[in-house]
Structure 1
Amino acid sequence: MSLQYFYFIIQYSAKREAGKEAQSRTGKMKLEVYADRMSQPSRAVIIFCKVNGIDYTERKVDISKREHLTPEFAEINPMKQLPAIVDGNFKLFESHSILIYLACAFPGVADHWYPANLFKRSKMHSVLYWHHSNLRRAADTYVTNTTILPALGHPSNQQAAAEAEKLLFSSLSKIESFWLKGDGPFLLGRNQPSIADLSLVCELMQLEVLDEKDRERFLGPYKKVQQWIKRTRNATSPHFDNVHNILMKVKEKLKNKPLMEANHGGALDIQKRLRSRI
Protein backbone atom coordinates (compact mmCIF):
# COMPACT_ATOMS: atom_id res chain seq x y z
CA MET A 1 0.00 0.00 0.00
CA SER A 2 1.46 3.36 -1.03
CA LEU A 3 1.79 6.19 1.47
CA GLN A 4 -0.56 8.32 -0.62
CA TYR A 5 -3.28 5.66 -0.59
CA PHE A 6 -2.84 5.06 3.14
CA TYR A 7 -3.14 8.80 3.73
CA PHE A 8 -6.29 8.96 1.58
CA ILE A 9 -7.93 6.16 3.59
CA ILE A 10 -7.18 7.91 6.89
CA GLN A 11 -8.52 11.22 5.59
CA TYR A 12 -11.67 9.60 4.21
CA SER A 13 -12.32 7.73 7.47
CA ALA A 14 -11.81 10.87 9.54
CA LYS A 15 -14.22 12.89 7.40
CA ARG A 16 -16.81 10.11 7.48
CA GLU A 17 -16.63 9.83 11.27
CA ALA A 18 -16.86 13.62 11.62
CA GLY A 19 -19.95 13.58 9.43
CA LYS A 20 -21.53 10.86 11.54
CA GLU A 21 -20.79 12.82 14.71
CA ALA A 22 -22.36 15.98 13.30
CA GLN A 23 -25.46 14.01 12.32
CA SER A 24 -25.64 12.31 15.73
CA ARG A 25 -25.92 15.70 17.41
CA THR A 26 -29.30 16.32 15.80
CA GLY A 27 -31.91 16.43 18.55
CA LYS A 28 -29.40 16.76 21.37
CA MET A 29 -29.89 19.26 24.16
CA LYS A 30 -27.99 22.53 23.90
CA LEU A 31 -24.28 22.29 24.65
CA GLU A 32 -23.39 23.28 28.22
CA VAL A 33 -20.02 24.89 28.93
CA TYR A 34 -18.89 24.90 32.56
CA ALA A 35 -16.39 27.71 32.96
CA ASP A 36 -14.94 30.56 34.96
CA ARG A 37 -13.81 33.44 32.73
CA MET A 38 -10.81 34.08 34.96
CA SER A 39 -9.58 30.70 33.72
CA GLN A 40 -7.48 30.96 30.56
CA PRO A 41 -8.66 27.61 29.08
CA SER A 42 -12.27 28.50 29.89
CA ARG A 43 -11.93 31.70 27.90
CA ALA A 44 -10.49 29.84 24.91
CA VAL A 45 -13.47 27.47 24.78
CA ILE A 46 -16.03 30.26 25.16
CA ILE A 47 -14.39 32.40 22.46
CA PHE A 48 -14.27 29.43 20.10
CA CYS A 49 -17.99 28.81 20.57
CA LYS A 50 -18.85 32.45 19.99
CA VAL A 51 -16.63 32.89 16.92
CA ASN A 52 -18.05 29.75 15.31
CA GLY A 53 -21.69 30.40 16.15
CA ILE A 54 -22.01 27.32 18.36
CA ASP A 55 -25.20 27.49 20.40
CA TYR A 56 -24.35 26.87 24.05
CA THR A 57 -25.33 27.63 27.62
CA GLU A 58 -22.58 28.94 29.88
CA ARG A 59 -22.62 27.49 33.39
CA LYS A 60 -20.47 29.62 35.67
CA VAL A 61 -18.38 27.69 38.17
CA ASP A 62 -16.76 30.21 40.52
CA ILE A 63 -13.25 29.05 41.35
CA SER A 64 -12.87 31.74 44.03
CA LYS A 65 -15.80 30.15 45.87
CA ARG A 66 -14.34 26.66 45.33
CA GLU A 67 -17.42 25.61 43.37
CA HIS A 68 -15.22 23.40 41.19
CA LEU A 69 -14.54 21.23 44.24
CA THR A 70 -18.17 20.42 44.98
CA PRO A 71 -19.59 16.90 44.62
CA GLU A 72 -22.07 18.27 42.07
CA PHE A 73 -19.31 19.49 39.75
CA ALA A 74 -17.33 16.29 40.29
CA GLU A 75 -20.19 14.54 38.50
CA ILE A 76 -19.34 16.68 35.46
CA ASN A 77 -15.55 16.48 35.81
CA PRO A 78 -14.05 14.09 38.37
CA MET A 79 -10.74 15.99 38.04
CA LYS A 80 -12.55 19.08 39.42
CA GLN A 81 -10.98 21.46 36.92
CA LEU A 82 -12.32 23.94 34.37
CA PRO A 83 -13.50 24.03 31.67
CA ALA A 84 -15.79 21.08 31.06
CA ILE A 85 -18.69 20.48 28.69
CA VAL A 86 -21.84 18.40 28.59
CA ASP A 87 -23.28 17.65 25.15
CA GLY A 88 -26.35 15.48 25.59
CA ASN A 89 -25.09 12.44 27.49
CA PHE A 90 -21.47 13.16 26.58
CA LYS A 91 -19.17 14.78 29.14
CA LEU A 92 -15.68 16.03 28.43
CA PHE A 93 -12.96 18.00 30.21
CA GLU A 94 -9.50 19.39 29.30
CA SER A 95 -9.70 22.45 27.06
CA HIS A 96 -7.66 21.07 24.16
CA SER A 97 -9.83 17.96 23.98
CA ILE A 98 -12.94 20.14 24.17
CA LEU A 99 -11.76 22.41 21.35
CA ILE A 100 -10.97 19.41 19.14
CA TYR A 101 -14.38 17.91 19.86
CA LEU A 102 -16.20 21.15 19.10
CA ALA A 103 -14.29 21.62 15.85
CA CYS A 104 -15.21 18.09 14.72
CA ALA A 105 -18.74 17.73 16.10
CA PHE A 106 -20.34 21.01 15.08
CA PRO A 107 -21.04 21.79 11.42
CA GLY A 108 -19.79 25.01 9.93
CA VAL A 109 -16.47 25.25 11.80
CA ALA A 110 -13.85 26.37 9.27
CA ASP A 111 -11.05 23.93 8.52
CA HIS A 112 -8.32 26.34 9.61
CA TRP A 113 -9.33 25.92 13.26
CA TYR A 114 -8.55 22.19 13.23
CA PRO A 115 -7.49 20.99 9.77
CA ALA A 116 -8.68 17.72 8.27
CA ASN A 117 -5.24 17.21 6.75
CA LEU A 118 -3.51 14.59 8.90
CA PHE A 119 -0.05 16.13 8.68
CA LYS A 120 -1.27 19.64 9.53
CA ARG A 121 -3.40 18.26 12.37
CA SER A 122 -0.46 16.34 13.83
CA LYS A 123 1.69 19.47 13.77
CA MET A 124 -1.06 21.31 15.60
CA HIS A 125 -1.15 18.58 18.25
CA SER A 126 2.56 19.12 18.84
CA VAL A 127 1.88 22.78 19.69
CA LEU A 128 -0.97 21.85 22.03
CA TYR A 129 1.07 19.23 23.90
CA TRP A 130 4.00 21.64 24.18
CA HIS A 131 1.70 24.35 25.53
CA HIS A 132 0.67 22.45 28.66
CA SER A 133 4.16 21.54 29.86
CA ASN A 134 5.79 24.85 28.94
CA LEU A 135 3.87 28.08 28.40
CA ARG A 136 0.88 27.17 30.57
CA ARG A 137 2.96 25.90 33.47
CA ALA A 138 5.19 28.99 33.29
CA ALA A 139 2.63 31.78 32.88
CA ASP A 140 0.08 30.40 35.32
CA THR A 141 2.64 29.70 38.05
CA TYR A 142 4.34 33.08 37.68
CA VAL A 143 1.17 35.19 37.66
CA THR A 144 -0.38 33.24 40.53
CA ASN A 145 2.65 33.58 42.81
CA THR A 146 3.67 37.15 41.99
CA THR A 147 0.29 38.83 41.64
CA ILE A 148 -2.87 36.86 42.40
CA LEU A 149 -1.96 35.27 45.74
CA PRO A 150 -0.43 38.46 47.20
CA ALA A 151 -3.50 40.44 46.11
CA LEU A 152 -5.71 37.99 47.97
CA GLY A 153 -3.52 38.12 51.06
CA HIS A 154 -2.26 34.56 50.64
CA PRO A 155 1.38 33.41 50.91
CA SER A 156 3.17 32.81 47.63
CA ASN A 157 5.98 30.49 46.58
CA GLN A 158 8.87 32.68 45.46
CA GLN A 159 11.01 29.73 44.40
CA ALA A 160 8.23 28.49 42.14
CA ALA A 161 7.87 32.02 40.73
CA ALA A 162 11.60 32.22 39.98
CA GLU A 163 11.56 28.87 38.18
CA ALA A 164 8.42 29.86 36.28
CA GLU A 165 10.06 33.13 35.20
CA LYS A 166 12.89 31.23 33.50
CA LEU A 167 10.45 28.86 31.81
CA LEU A 168 8.27 31.76 30.67
CA PHE A 169 11.18 33.50 28.96
CA SER A 170 12.20 30.20 27.39
CA SER A 171 8.63 29.56 26.18
CA LEU A 172 8.30 33.03 24.66
CA SER A 173 11.64 32.59 22.92
CA LYS A 174 10.51 29.28 21.39
CA ILE A 175 7.24 30.79 20.18
CA GLU A 176 9.15 33.69 18.61
CA SER A 177 11.90 31.64 16.97
CA PHE A 178 10.19 28.31 16.23
CA TRP A 179 6.41 28.14 16.45
CA LEU A 180 5.96 31.43 14.58
CA LYS A 181 8.52 30.50 11.95
CA GLY A 182 7.07 30.45 8.44
CA ASP A 183 5.37 32.63 5.86
CA GLY A 184 2.03 33.07 7.63
CA PRO A 185 1.42 35.28 10.69
CA PHE A 186 0.01 32.51 12.91
CA LEU A 187 1.50 29.44 14.60
CA LEU A 188 3.18 26.93 12.28
CA GLY A 189 3.34 29.61 9.59
CA ARG A 190 -0.37 29.35 8.87
CA ASN A 191 -2.40 32.17 7.33
CA GLN A 192 -5.41 31.81 9.65
CA PRO A 193 -5.75 31.11 13.37
CA SER A 194 -6.22 27.64 14.82
CA ILE A 195 -7.32 26.27 18.17
CA ALA A 196 -3.62 26.35 19.10
CA ASP A 197 -3.36 30.09 18.46
CA LEU A 198 -6.47 30.69 20.55
CA SER A 199 -5.25 28.53 23.45
CA LEU A 200 -1.79 30.06 23.62
CA VAL A 201 -2.90 33.67 23.23
CA CYS A 202 -5.53 33.25 25.96
CA GLU A 203 -2.72 31.92 28.14
CA LEU A 204 -0.54 34.95 27.47
CA MET A 205 -3.41 37.32 28.18
CA GLN A 206 -3.05 36.36 31.85
CA LEU A 207 0.11 38.49 31.83
CA GLU A 208 -2.19 41.52 31.60
CA VAL A 209 -2.64 41.43 35.38
CA LEU A 210 1.09 41.95 35.95
CA ASP A 211 2.28 45.48 36.51
CA GLU A 212 3.12 47.22 33.23
CA LYS A 213 6.90 47.07 33.68
CA ASP A 214 6.86 43.37 34.46
CA ARG A 215 4.63 42.58 31.50
CA GLU A 216 6.85 44.65 29.19
CA ARG A 217 9.90 42.86 30.58
CA PHE A 218 8.47 39.57 29.34
CA LEU A 219 6.83 40.55 26.05
CA GLY A 220 8.98 43.53 25.01
CA PRO A 221 11.83 41.52 23.46
CA TYR A 222 9.49 39.40 21.35
CA LYS A 223 8.07 41.53 18.54
CA LYS A 224 6.66 38.62 16.54
CA VAL A 225 4.84 37.36 19.64
CA GLN A 226 3.29 40.79 20.19
CA GLN A 227 2.13 41.01 16.57
CA TRP A 228 0.72 37.48 16.72
CA ILE A 229 -1.27 38.26 19.88
CA LYS A 230 -2.74 41.33 18.18
CA ARG A 231 -3.62 39.38 15.02
CA THR A 232 -5.31 36.60 16.98
CA ARG A 233 -7.36 39.14 18.95
CA ASN A 234 -8.38 40.89 15.73
CA ALA A 235 -9.25 37.61 14.01
CA THR A 236 -11.64 36.70 16.84
CA SER A 237 -13.06 40.20 17.40
CA PRO A 238 -15.29 41.29 19.06
CA HIS A 239 -15.66 38.09 21.08
CA PHE A 240 -12.06 37.93 22.26
CA ASP A 241 -12.14 41.28 24.06
CA ASN A 242 -15.69 40.76 25.33
CA VAL A 243 -14.78 37.46 26.98
CA HIS A 244 -11.60 39.00 28.45
CA ASN A 245 -13.55 41.91 29.95
CA ILE A 246 -13.50 40.34 33.41
CA LEU A 247 -9.71 39.98 33.25
CA MET A 248 -9.35 43.64 32.29
CA LYS A 249 -11.48 44.65 35.28
CA VAL A 250 -9.19 42.67 37.57
CA LYS A 251 -6.21 44.35 35.90
CA GLU A 252 -7.64 47.78 36.78
CA LYS A 253 -8.27 46.75 40.38
CA LEU A 254 -4.70 45.51 40.73
CA LYS A 255 -3.38 48.65 39.04
CA ASN A 256 -5.13 50.79 41.66
CA LYS A 257 -4.14 48.55 44.55
CA PRO A 258 -1.33 50.80 45.89
CA LEU A 259 -3.86 53.64 46.25
CA MET A 260 -6.32 51.36 47.98
CA GLU A 261 -3.68 50.20 50.46
CA ALA A 262 -3.25 53.71 51.85
CA ASN A 263 -5.47 52.46 54.64
CA HIS A 264 -6.13 49.01 56.04
CA GLY A 265 -9.82 49.15 55.14
CA GLY A 266 -8.91 49.83 51.54
CA ALA A 267 -6.68 46.79 51.41
CA LEU A 268 -9.41 44.59 52.80
CA ASP A 269 -11.89 46.07 50.36
CA ILE A 270 -9.83 45.29 47.27
CA GLN A 271 -9.14 41.76 48.51
CA LYS A 272 -12.86 41.20 48.94
CA ARG A 273 -13.63 42.51 45.45
CA LEU A 274 -10.82 40.53 43.83
CA ARG A 275 -12.07 37.33 45.45
CA SER A 276 -15.32 37.83 43.61
CA ARG A 277 -13.46 37.97 40.29
CA ILE A 278 -10.56 35.51 40.68
Structure 2
Amino acid sequence: MIKLYIDWISQPSRAVKAVLDILKVPHEVKALKIQFDEHKSPEFTAIHPLQQLPVLQDGDFTVAESHNIMKYIIKQRNISTNLYPLSDIRQQTRIDQYLDYHHTNTRKCLHLYHSVLISPLKGEKVIPEVLEKEKQDVAKVFSYFENNWLKGRNYICGDQVTLADISACSEMLQLDMIKFDFQKYPITNAWLNRVIRIPEVYQAHNVAFKVIKKQNPSSQFLK
Protein backbone atom coordinates (compact mmCIF):
# COMPACT_ATOMS: atom_id res chain seq x y z
CA MET A 1 0.00 0.00 0.00
CA ILE A 2 1.07 3.56 -0.68
CA LYS A 3 2.54 5.40 2.30
CA LEU A 4 2.00 9.15 2.63
CA TYR A 5 4.28 11.07 4.97
CA ILE A 6 2.73 14.34 6.10
CA ASP A 7 2.46 16.93 8.82
CA TRP A 8 -1.19 17.87 9.39
CA ILE A 9 -0.21 21.52 9.89
CA SER A 10 1.64 21.55 6.54
CA GLN A 11 -0.47 23.14 3.81
CA PRO A 12 0.96 21.01 0.95
CA SER A 13 0.53 17.88 3.07
CA ARG A 14 -3.16 18.58 3.60
CA ALA A 15 -3.67 19.24 -0.11
CA VAL A 16 -2.16 15.90 -1.10
CA LYS A 17 -4.17 14.06 1.55
CA ALA A 18 -7.39 15.64 0.27
CA VAL A 19 -6.61 14.65 -3.32
CA LEU A 20 -5.87 11.03 -2.41
CA ASP A 21 -9.17 10.86 -0.53
CA ILE A 22 -11.16 12.43 -3.36
CA LEU A 23 -9.64 9.93 -5.78
CA LYS A 24 -10.27 7.11 -3.30
CA VAL A 25 -6.70 5.86 -3.56
CA PRO A 26 -5.92 3.50 -0.66
CA HIS A 27 -2.97 4.74 1.38
CA GLU A 28 -1.43 4.67 4.83
CA VAL A 29 -0.75 8.00 6.53
CA LYS A 30 2.55 8.43 8.37
CA ALA A 31 2.10 11.64 10.36
CA LEU A 32 5.23 13.51 11.45
CA LYS A 33 5.50 16.75 13.40
CA ILE A 34 7.88 19.29 11.95
CA GLN A 35 7.77 21.33 15.18
CA PHE A 36 9.42 18.38 16.96
CA ASP A 37 11.94 17.80 14.13
CA GLU A 38 10.49 14.37 13.40
CA HIS A 39 11.18 14.99 9.70
CA LYS A 40 14.90 15.11 10.53
CA SER A 41 15.07 11.59 11.95
CA PRO A 42 17.56 9.18 10.37
CA GLU A 43 14.65 6.98 9.26
CA PHE A 44 12.88 9.74 7.34
CA THR A 45 16.11 11.25 6.04
CA ALA A 46 16.85 7.91 4.43
CA ILE A 47 13.53 8.19 2.61
CA HIS A 48 13.92 11.85 1.60
CA PRO A 49 17.32 13.47 2.22
CA LEU A 50 15.86 16.99 1.87
CA GLN A 51 13.76 16.27 4.99
CA GLN A 52 10.67 17.90 3.50
CA LEU A 53 7.00 16.94 3.61
CA PRO A 54 4.87 15.61 2.03
CA VAL A 55 6.47 12.50 0.58
CA LEU A 56 4.80 9.49 -0.99
CA GLN A 57 6.21 5.98 -1.16
CA ASP A 58 4.74 3.73 -3.83
CA GLY A 59 6.52 0.44 -3.29
CA ASP A 60 10.20 1.09 -3.94
CA PHE A 61 9.48 4.43 -5.64
CA THR A 62 9.60 7.69 -3.68
CA VAL A 63 7.84 10.84 -4.85
CA ALA A 64 8.37 14.30 -3.34
CA GLU A 65 6.83 17.75 -3.89
CA SER A 66 3.09 18.06 -3.35
CA HIS A 67 2.03 19.03 -6.88
CA ASN A 68 4.24 16.32 -8.32
CA ILE A 69 2.71 13.73 -5.98
CA MET A 70 -0.83 14.69 -6.99
CA LYS A 71 -0.09 14.40 -10.71
CA TYR A 72 1.90 11.20 -10.27
CA ILE A 73 -1.05 9.43 -8.65
CA ILE A 74 -3.41 10.47 -11.43
CA LYS A 75 -1.00 9.60 -14.23
CA GLN A 76 0.36 6.38 -12.77
CA ARG A 77 -3.12 5.02 -12.16
CA ASN A 78 -4.60 6.58 -15.31
CA ILE A 79 -7.45 8.09 -13.28
CA SER A 80 -10.18 9.97 -15.13
CA THR A 81 -10.81 13.11 -13.08
CA ASN A 82 -11.55 16.79 -13.51
CA LEU A 83 -8.83 17.44 -10.92
CA TYR A 84 -6.25 16.96 -13.69
CA PRO A 85 -7.87 15.63 -16.90
CA LEU A 86 -5.40 13.42 -18.76
CA SER A 87 -7.35 13.75 -22.02
CA ASP A 88 -7.37 17.56 -22.08
CA ILE A 89 -3.90 19.04 -22.63
CA ARG A 90 -5.16 22.62 -22.52
CA GLN A 91 -6.85 22.16 -19.16
CA GLN A 92 -3.73 20.42 -17.87
CA THR A 93 -1.73 23.44 -19.01
CA ARG A 94 -4.08 25.84 -17.22
CA ILE A 95 -3.72 23.81 -14.02
CA ASP A 96 0.06 23.60 -14.39
CA GLN A 97 0.22 27.34 -14.96
CA TYR A 98 -1.42 27.96 -11.60
CA LEU A 99 0.65 25.30 -9.82
CA ASP A 100 3.86 26.97 -11.07
CA TYR A 101 2.52 30.38 -9.99
CA HIS A 102 1.68 29.00 -6.55
CA HIS A 103 5.26 28.47 -5.38
CA THR A 104 6.39 32.10 -5.64
CA ASN A 105 3.06 33.81 -5.04
CA THR A 106 0.30 32.08 -3.04
CA ARG A 107 2.98 30.38 -0.94
CA LYS A 108 3.81 33.82 0.48
CA CYS A 109 0.85 33.30 2.80
CA LEU A 110 3.19 31.03 4.78
CA HIS A 111 5.60 33.90 5.49
CA LEU A 112 2.90 36.09 6.99
CA TYR A 113 1.47 33.21 9.04
CA HIS A 114 4.95 32.43 10.37
CA SER A 115 5.73 36.03 11.33
CA VAL A 116 2.41 36.64 13.09
CA LEU A 117 1.95 33.31 14.88
CA ILE A 118 5.05 31.11 14.87
CA SER A 119 7.86 33.63 15.39
CA PRO A 120 6.35 35.05 18.61
CA LEU A 121 5.83 31.53 19.94
CA LYS A 122 9.51 30.81 19.30
CA GLY A 123 10.64 34.09 20.81
CA GLU A 124 11.96 35.25 17.44
CA LYS A 125 12.15 38.97 16.70
CA VAL A 126 9.77 40.15 13.99
CA ILE A 127 11.09 43.11 12.01
CA PRO A 128 8.22 45.58 11.38
CA GLU A 129 9.39 46.40 7.86
CA VAL A 130 9.50 42.72 6.96
CA LEU A 131 6.04 42.11 8.42
CA GLU A 132 4.63 45.02 6.43
CA LYS A 133 6.18 43.68 3.23
CA GLU A 134 4.63 40.26 3.93
CA LYS A 135 1.22 41.86 4.41
CA GLN A 136 1.59 43.68 1.11
CA ASP A 137 2.68 40.50 -0.66
CA VAL A 138 -0.37 38.60 0.58
CA ALA A 139 -2.67 41.48 -0.37
CA LYS A 140 -1.26 41.33 -3.91
CA VAL A 141 -1.91 37.59 -4.07
CA PHE A 142 -5.53 37.97 -2.96
CA SER A 143 -6.07 40.88 -5.32
CA TYR A 144 -4.74 38.80 -8.20
CA PHE A 145 -7.11 35.98 -7.30
CA GLU A 146 -9.98 38.45 -7.09
CA ASN A 147 -9.26 40.12 -10.43
CA ASN A 148 -7.65 37.34 -12.47
CA TRP A 149 -7.70 33.71 -11.35
CA LEU A 150 -11.34 33.80 -10.23
CA LYS A 151 -12.71 36.52 -12.50
CA GLY A 152 -15.86 35.27 -14.17
CA ARG A 153 -15.51 31.66 -13.03
CA ASN A 154 -16.23 29.49 -10.01
CA TYR A 155 -12.80 27.89 -9.78
CA ILE A 156 -9.26 28.81 -10.74
CA CYS A 157 -9.29 26.94 -14.05
CA GLY A 158 -12.96 27.06 -14.96
CA ASP A 159 -16.23 25.65 -13.66
CA GLN A 160 -14.82 22.51 -12.02
CA VAL A 161 -12.52 22.10 -9.05
CA THR A 162 -8.95 21.05 -9.90
CA LEU A 163 -5.63 20.44 -8.20
CA ALA A 164 -5.07 24.20 -8.42
CA ASP A 165 -8.03 24.95 -6.15
CA ILE A 166 -7.14 22.36 -3.55
CA SER A 167 -3.53 23.51 -3.32
CA ALA A 168 -4.46 27.19 -3.13
CA CYS A 169 -7.27 26.64 -0.62
CA SER A 170 -5.02 24.72 1.76
CA GLU A 171 -2.39 27.46 1.56
CA MET A 172 -4.75 30.37 2.09
CA LEU A 173 -6.72 28.73 4.89
CA GLN A 174 -3.58 28.84 7.06
CA LEU A 175 -4.18 32.58 7.35
CA ASP A 176 -7.37 31.89 9.30
CA MET A 177 -5.09 31.02 12.22
CA ILE A 178 -4.01 34.69 12.33
CA LYS A 179 -7.52 36.13 11.81
CA PHE A 180 -6.88 37.29 8.28
CA ASP A 181 -9.76 39.38 6.89
CA PHE A 182 -10.98 37.23 3.99
CA GLN A 183 -14.13 39.37 3.72
CA LYS A 184 -12.10 42.11 2.02
CA TYR A 185 -11.95 39.81 -0.99
CA PRO A 186 -15.55 38.63 -1.55
CA ILE A 187 -14.96 36.62 -4.73
CA THR A 188 -12.00 34.78 -3.23
CA ASN A 189 -13.83 34.32 0.06
CA ALA A 190 -16.82 32.73 -1.67
CA TRP A 191 -14.48 30.44 -3.63
CA LEU A 192 -12.66 29.39 -0.45
CA ASN A 193 -15.97 28.45 1.12
CA ARG A 194 -16.86 26.33 -1.92
CA VAL A 195 -13.57 24.44 -1.90
CA ILE A 196 -13.22 23.90 1.84
CA ARG A 197 -16.78 22.48 2.00
CA ILE A 198 -15.76 19.57 -0.22
CA PRO A 199 -15.97 16.76 2.39
CA GLU A 200 -12.51 15.30 1.69
CA VAL A 201 -10.90 18.74 1.77
CA TYR A 202 -12.60 19.64 5.04
CA GLN A 203 -11.61 16.30 6.57
CA ALA A 204 -7.96 16.83 5.60
CA HIS A 205 -8.02 20.10 7.54
CA ASN A 206 -9.42 18.70 10.79
CA VAL A 207 -6.16 19.19 12.72
CA ALA A 208 -5.72 22.67 11.26
CA PHE A 209 -9.25 23.52 12.36
CA LYS A 210 -8.34 22.63 15.93
CA VAL A 211 -5.66 25.34 15.79
CA ILE A 212 -8.07 27.74 14.11
CA LYS A 213 -10.69 27.09 16.80
CA LYS A 214 -8.13 28.05 19.44
CA GLN A 215 -6.67 31.07 17.65
CA ASN A 216 -9.79 32.30 15.87
CA PRO A 217 -12.95 30.80 17.44
CA SER A 218 -15.27 33.01 15.37
CA SER A 219 -13.87 31.72 12.08
CA GLN A 220 -16.43 31.50 9.29
CA PHE A 221 -14.94 28.18 8.18
CA LEU A 222 -15.63 26.27 11.39
CA LYS A 223 -18.67 24.02 11.29
User: Could you say what the CA RMSD is over the residues aligned between the two structures, in angstroms?
Assistant: 1.7
SS in structure 2 of the partner of residue 115 of structure 1: coil
Q: Which amino acid aligns with 1:125?
A: D
Look up the match of 1:207: 175
Look up the match of 1:264: none
Look up the match of 1:198: 166
User: How many Å separate the matches in 2 of 1:152 and 1:94?
Assistant: 27
User: How many Å separate the matches in 1 of 2:2 and 2:138?
Assistant: 34
User: How many Å separate the matches in 2 of 1:75 and 1:157?
Assistant: 36
Q: Which amino acid aligns with 2:90?
A: F
1:72 aligns with 2:49: no
Question: TM-score, normalised to structure 2's length?
Answer: 0.90
Per-residue deviation at 1:152? 4.2
User: How many Å separate the matches in 2 of 1:209 and 1:160?
Assistant: 19
Q: Which amino acid aligns with 1:101?
A: Y
Per-residue deviation at 1:70? 2.0
Question: TM-score, normalised to structure 1's length?
Answer: 0.73
Per-residue deviation at 1:107? 4.8
User: How many Å separate the matches in 2 of 1:48 and 1:152?
Assistant: 32
Within the candidate set 141, 157, 168, 1:171 is matched to: 141
Look up the match of 2:125: 155
1:227 aligns with 2:190: yes
Look up the match of 1:273: none
Per-residue deviation at 1:71? 2.4
Look up the match of 2:221: none
Q: Quote the sequence identity (%).
A: 27
Can you give the 5+ residue segments of structure 1 that lack an aligned partner in the other structure?
1-29, 257-278
SS in structure 2 of the partner of residue 37 of structure 1: coil
1:243 aligns with 2:201: no
The C-alpha deviation readout for 1:243-267, integer Å capped at 9, x for no partner, is 21211211233358xxxxxxxxxxx
More helix by share: 1
Greater relative contact order (CA < 8 Å, ≥ 6 in sequence): 2
Within the candidate set 200, 215, 218, 1:254 is matched to: 215
User: How many Å separate the matches in 2 of 1:115 and 1:45?
Assistant: 17
User: How many Å separate the matches in 2 of 1:120 and 1:54?
Assistant: 23
Query: Does structure 1 retain, via aligned residues, the 8 Å contact 2:176–2:216?
Result: no
1:127 aligns with 2:98: yes
User: How many Å separate the matches in 2 of 1:253 and 1:145?
Assistant: 18
SS in structure 2 of the partner of residue 149 of structure 1: helix
CA pair 176-131 structure 1, distance change in 2 beyond 3 A: same
1:105 aligns with 2:76: yes
Can you give the 5+ residue segments of structure 2 that lack an aligned partner in the other structure?
218-223
Within the candidate set 151, 172, 187, 1:181 is matched to: 151
The C-alpha deviation readout for 1:106-163, integer Å capped at 9, x for no partner, is 35441x1012211221121110111110110x20000101112213444334443222
User: How many Å separate the matches in 2 of 1:181 and 1:168?
Assistant: 18
CA pair 109-47 structure 1, distance change in 2 beyond 3 A: farther
SS in structure 1 of the partner of residue 19 of structure 2: helix
Look up the match of 1:274: none
Per-residue deviation at 1:52? 1.3
The C-alpha deviation readout for 1:72-111, integer Å capped at 9, x for no partner, is 212222211110100011101110101111121235441x
Matches within 5 A, 1:85-104: 85-104=56-75
User: How many Å separate the matches in 1 of 2:49 and 2:78?
Assistant: 29
Within the candidate set 26, 30, 33, 1:59 is matched to: 30
How many pairs were matched up? 216
Q: Which amino acid aligns with 1:202?
A: S
